[in-house]
Structure 1
Amino acid sequence: MPSWQGKSKGSKFGYSIFVFLLKYGGIHPAYLLLRFVAFYFFLFSRSSSKPMYRYFRTKIGYGRWRSLCSIYRSYHVFGQTLIDKVVVMADMANKFTFNFDGEHNLREIVSGGRGGILLSAHLGNWEVAGHLFKRLQTPINIVMFDGEHQQIKDYLSSVTGDRNVNIIVIKDDLSHIYAINEALNNKELVCMHADRFLPGNKTVAAPLLGHDARFPMGPFLLAATFRVPVCVVFACKESSTHYHFYATPPRQYHGRRNQGVETALNDFVQLLEEKIRLYPTQWFNFYDFWE
């Protein structure tokens, strides 16, 4: 079984150092320090580096040396996305540019007045994408695990301020289901990842990169149950200052619930695999994803 436990690495002190550099030196000193931080994780974080090596070696098909280099590259790009998140959400001065490929698809959902579901994965920079959703001028609800330590969350909230979105935290009492239901009944957008689950969650299987993997059933069950338009969205980093945003044409999943779940799953996995092959070092699942 995949071993993700719903927690993210890092400390309040580490975040505060980078925020200090961003405020008083800009993004380049922060990126420079990040090179050393990424190299530290490359050398000493065996629990994440070992499954990453297998991912690059056996799923992407890289050679040994390229796989090792890609591990470091993945840590480095991941750190950049965290820095970029703070910069964009705190409205710090920056030179970021964006391509919006398929933004009209999201506007089509908004103009339809029925609400909708946006599915994504831990690929690229979800936080930057979520912040840019305010361009749509409609209420946005982001469903997520409560995976960061509370002191880190409180610190980042004090830095970035209002995120212009409503966060729906996944809880054991299933209260998040009622919150999602309310948001969709209010014709709002609901955004969620569909590539991670915690032990005990219901899952569905599909082949990814030539090997069977398990995905959380919840997002696809919601798509089949509410029958609102569904888009798959990603925001991937293409250079130090440029992101490419993707949004697929909206689709609705009708038919019996099991059939709708399977169709939604297969559509999502196919699109996810396409983007993983385009941006292999930006799929930030640092654990054994495949069974």
Structure 2
Amino acid sequence: MTSTARMAEASAHEAWQGHTDGRPWMLRSLIAMFRRIDIRCLYGVMAVVVVFYMLFNRRGYRAIRDLFRRRLGYGRRQTLRAVYATHYRFGQVILDRFAVYAGQRFEVEIEHNEYYRELVARPGGFIMVSSHVGNYELAGYSLHPAEKRFYALVYAGEKETVMQNRAKCFAGNNIEMVPVMGDMSHLFVANRALMEGNIVGMPGDRLFGSQKSVQCDFLGASARFPLGPFALAVQREVPMLSIFVMKEATKRYRIFVDRIDTGDVNQPKRLRMEYAARSFAAQLERIVRRYPTQWFNFYNFWE
């Protein structure tokens, strides 16, 4: 019944792979359970399950431990509590996704929704940059861009059951999922979407496909961020927004929307791309410091 994400890691960012654990019948059963059981009951089960996950997923455990010890300066006991809280919060977020598949709804507050609505209402496409903190998927059920179609780039290796339920939930929200492929074909879809004045959602904190990256100062050390989203925005001359969807209570989330500065238009494009990436990294750092146990990159992000 476990539905935490398997983190298989090699020696660098680009080696990350992840998908929801569990056989299809188990995932379907979980959805059926949410139609009959209070979500807090399954949270209770998750509180025990994550202990075993921490024991057997040592690489993920060490990566999160180092986040709190080396980047955030926590003491030993505080780190242990924070590592457990991170795994537990991650389990809750995964369960929340399946609760949505079962028809449950969450209370959502949006900060600076006017930035989003302004770009949706005017002609031209734009890019929304997400990250692996909180529960970004929930944004697709909360932001309803009736005026434009939203093309969300997603991991191509996810389980079919999860992809089918995502598609079902997204169907009424004018959202289309675009799997990130090794042949980079997803970039053609993204380019076309922007040319047609639509919205493209891209992750801004992991290297998928292309290995082009930008070194950014992040939590006191240098880390690689993908160049792709920022290069696309500068090349197409479209605005960018960051979006972070953070869990605040059992049935409540807060969405943070902010503008990403792409720098002086008179500067070389490469400098503008790097400037935008570093602007996003600074926004992500503020979110991580505010919600440290919702950082879900279970590998050595600074390697």
1:143-158 matches, within 5 Å, as: 143-150=153-160, 152-154=162-164, 156-157=165-166
Secondary structure of 2:18's counterpart equals coil
Look up the equivalent residue of 2:273 and give its one-letter code: V
TM (norm. structure 2) is 0.87
Give the match for residue 221 of structure 2: 211
Secondary structure of 2:182's counterpart equals coil
Aligned: 1:7 with 2:18: yes
C-alpha separation in 2, matches of 1:4 and 1:101: 34
Look up the equivalent residue of 2:92 and give its one-letter code: Q
Secondary structure of 2:243's counterpart equals strand
Does the 8 Å CA contact 1:119/1:191 hold for their aligned counterparts? Answer: yes
1:190-269 matches, within 5 Å, as: 190-198=200-208, 201-249=211-259, 251=261, 254=265, 255-269=267-281
Deviation of 1:144 after TM superposition, in Å, equals: 2.0
Q: 1:40-95: per-residue Cα shift (whole Å, max 9, x none)? A: 21222212101111111101111111111111111111111112122234432x4x
1:71-220 matches, within 5 Å, as: 71-92=83-104, 94=105, 96-134=106-144, 137-150=147-160, 152-154=162-164, 156-157=165-166, 160=169, 162=171, 164=173, 165-198=175-208, 201-220=211-230
Q: 1:245-270: per-residue Cα shift (whole Å, max 9, x none)? A: 11113655534210111111111011
Does the 8 Å CA contact 1:276/1:283 hold for their aligned counterparts? Answer: yes
1:29-108 matches, within 5 Å, as: 29-92=41-104, 94=105, 96-108=106-118
Q: 1:75-132: per-residue Cα shift (whole Å, max 9, x none)? A: 111111112122234432x4x2221101110011012211110111101100101221
Deviation of 1:288 after TM superposition, in Å, equals: 0.7
C-alpha separation in 2, matches of 1:57 and 1:266: 24
Residues 199 and 127 (structure 1 numbering): CA distance in 2 closer, same or farther, change over 3 Å? closer
Residues 287 and 26 (structure 1 numbering): CA distance in 2 closer, same or farther, change over 3 Å? same
Q: 1:131-172: per-residue Cα shift (whole Å, max 9, x none)? A: 212265531110122132345534x45885737311111212
C-alpha separation in 2, matches of 1:158 and 1:105: 26
Give the match for residue 276 of structure 1: 288
Residues 138 and 161 (structure 1 numbering): CA distance in 2 closer, same or farther, change over 3 Å? closer
User: Gapped runs of 5+ residues in structure 2?
Assistant: 1-11
Q: How big is the alpha-carbon RMSD for the aligned residues of Structure 1 and Structure 2? A: 2.2
Question: For this pair of structures, how many residues does the alignment match?
Answer: 288
Give the match for residue 38 of structure 2: 26
Look up the equivalent residue of 2:269 and give its one-letter code: R
Secondary structure of 2:188's counterpart equals helix
C-alpha separation in 1, matches of 2:133 and 2:251: 17
Look up the equivalent residue of 1:242 and give its one-letter code: R
Residues 272 and 158 (structure 1 numbering): CA distance in 2 closer, same or farther, change over 3 Å? closer
Deviation of 1:14 after TM superposition, in Å, equals: 4.6
Which of structures 1 and 2 has the larger relative contact order (alpha carbons within 8 angstroms, sep 6+)? Answer: 1
Deviation of 1:26 after TM superposition, in Å, equals: 2.5
Percent of matched pairs sharing the same residue: 29
Q: 1:193-251: per-residue Cα shift (whole Å, max 9, x none)? A: 11011476221111100011001111111111111111111110111121111111365
Residues 285 and 4 (structure 1 numbering): CA distance in 2 closer, same or farther, change over 3 Å? farther
Residues 45 and 9 (structure 1 numbering): CA distance in 2 closer, same or farther, change over 3 Å? farther
TM (norm. structure 1) is 0.91
User: Gapped runs of 5+ residues in structure 1?
Assistant: none
Does the 8 Å CA contact 1:100/1:246 hold for their aligned counterparts? Answer: yes
Secondary structure of 2:13's counterpart equals coil
Does the 8 Å CA contact 2:262/2:273 hold for their aligned counterparts? Answer: no
Does the 8 Å CA contact 2:107/2:251 hold for their aligned counterparts? Answer: yes
Residues 117 and 158 (structure 1 numbering): CA distance in 2 closer, same or farther, change over 3 Å? closer
